[in-house]
Amino acid sequence: MPAQTHPPVSSITSLQLSTFLAVAESGGVLPAARRINLSQPAVTARIRQLEETLGAALFLRTPRGMTLTPRGRRLLGYARRMAELLAEAAGAVDAAGAAPVEPLTLAASTTPAAHVLPVIIARYQAAGHSLAGFTLRVGNTDQVLGWVRDGTVPLAVVEGQPKASGIHLELFRKDELLPVWAPATLAAAVVARIEKMKRPADLADLPILWREEGSGTRRVVEVALEKAGVPAHAWSGGYQFGGGTDAIKAATLAGLGVAFLPRCAIGAELESGALCPLPLKNLRVPRAFRWATCGSGLSGVAAAFRRFAQRETNQAGTVTSVF
Q: With CA atoms as reference, report the closest residue to 291 among 195, 187, 169, 184.
A: 169
Greater pLDDT, 108 or 164: 108
Q: Specify whether 301 is located in the same domain as 174.
A: yes
Q: Specify whether 281 is located in the same domain as 136.
A: yes
Q: With CA atoms as reference, report the closest residue to 217 among 108, 109, 107, 106.
A: 109
Q: Specify whether 194 is located in the same domain as 275.
A: yes
**Domain holding 13: CATH number?**
1.10.10.10
Question: What is the reported pLDDT for 26?
Answer: 81
Question: What is the reported pLDDT for 32?
Answer: 83
Residue 53, judged by CB atoms within 10 A of its CB (0-12, 13-18, 19+), counts as: middle
Q: Is the pLDDT of residue 99 over 50?
A: no
Going by pLDDT thresholds of 50, 70 and 90, the confidence category of residue 317 is: low
Q: Specify whether 61 is located in the same domain as 178.
A: no
Q: Specify whether 200 is located in the same domain as 68.
A: no
Asked if the structure places residue 162 within a domain, the reply is: yes
Question: What is the reported pLDDT for 192?
Answer: 93
pLDDT digits (tens, 9 = 90+) for 54-83: 999 999 988 777 889 999 999 988 888 888
Give Cβ neighbours of residue 252 (< 8 Å, ≥ 6 apart).
180, 181, 182, 209, 258, 259, 261, 275
Q: How many domains does the chain have?
A: 2
CA atoms within 13 A on the CB side of 23: 32
Q: Specify whether 121 is located in the same domain as 214.
A: yes
Going by pLDDT thresholds of 50, 70 and 90, the confidence category of residue 321 is: very low
Q: Is the pLDDT of residue 148 over 60?
A: yes
What are the C-alpha distances in Å from 189 to residues 178, 179, 259, 275, 276? 22, 18, 17, 17, 17
Q: Specify whether 183 is located in the same domain as 271.
A: yes
**Domain holding 251: CATH number?**
3.40.190.290
Asked if the structure places residue 98 within a domain, the reply is: no
Asked if the structure places residue 3 within a domain, the reply is: no
C-beta separation of 65 from 71 below 8 A? no
C-beta separation of 141 from 289 below 8 A? no
pLDDT digits (tens, 9 = 90+) for 130-142: 888 899 999 988 8
Give Cβ neighbours of residue 267 (< 8 Å, ≥ 6 apart).
none
Considering all CA atoms of the chain, what is the largest pairwise distance in Å, rounded to the nearest integer? 91
Boundary-marking domain end, from 63, 93, 123: 93
Domain assignment of residue 14, given as a range: 9-93
Asked if the structure places residue 1 within a domain, the reply is: no
How confident is the prediction for the chain on average, in pLDDT?
A: 83
86-90, 197-201, 245-249, 307-311: least confidently modelled range? 86-90
Q: Is the pLDDT of residue 221 over 90?
A: no
Q: What is the dihedral of CA 261, 263, 111, 186, to 10 degrees?
A: 30
Asked if the structure places residue 257 within a domain, the reply is: yes
Greater pLDDT, 224 or 190: 190
Q: With CA atoms as reference, report the closest residue to 205 among 168, 228, 238.
A: 238
Q: Specify whether 89 is located in the same domain as 110.
A: no
pLDDT digits (tens, 9 = 90+) for 116-135: 999 999 999 999 888 888 99
Q: Specify whether 39 is located in the same domain as 152.
A: no
C-beta separation of 80 from 296 below 8 A? no
Boundary-marking domain end, from 93, 114, 144: 93
Asked if the structure places residue 166 within a domain, the reply is: yes
3-state SS track over the chain: CCCCCCCCHHHCCHHHHHHHHHHHHHCCHHHHHHHHCCCHHHHHHHHHHHHHHHCCCCEEEECCEEEECHHHHHHHHHHHHHHHHHHHHHHHHCCCCCCCCCCCEEEEEHHHHHHCHHHHHHHHHHCCCCCCCCEEEEECHHHHHHHHHCCCCCEEEEECCCCCCCCEEEEEEEEEEEEEECCCCCCHHHHHHHHCCCCHHHHHHCCEEEECCCCHHHHHHHHHHHHCCCCHHHCCCCEEECCCHHHHHHHHHCCCCEEEEEHHHCHHHHHHCCCEECCCCCCCEEEEEEEEECCCCCCHHHHHHHHHHHHHHHHHCCCCCCC
Q: Specify whether 74 is located in the same domain as 177.
A: no
C-beta separation of 114 from 139 below 8 A? no
Percent of the chain with pLDDT over 70: 87
Q: Specify whether 139 is located in the same domain as 189.
A: yes
Boundary-marking domain end, from 93, 128, 148: 93
Q: Specify whether 198 is located in the same domain as 275.
A: yes
Count of C-beta atoms within a 10 Å radius of residue 205:
12
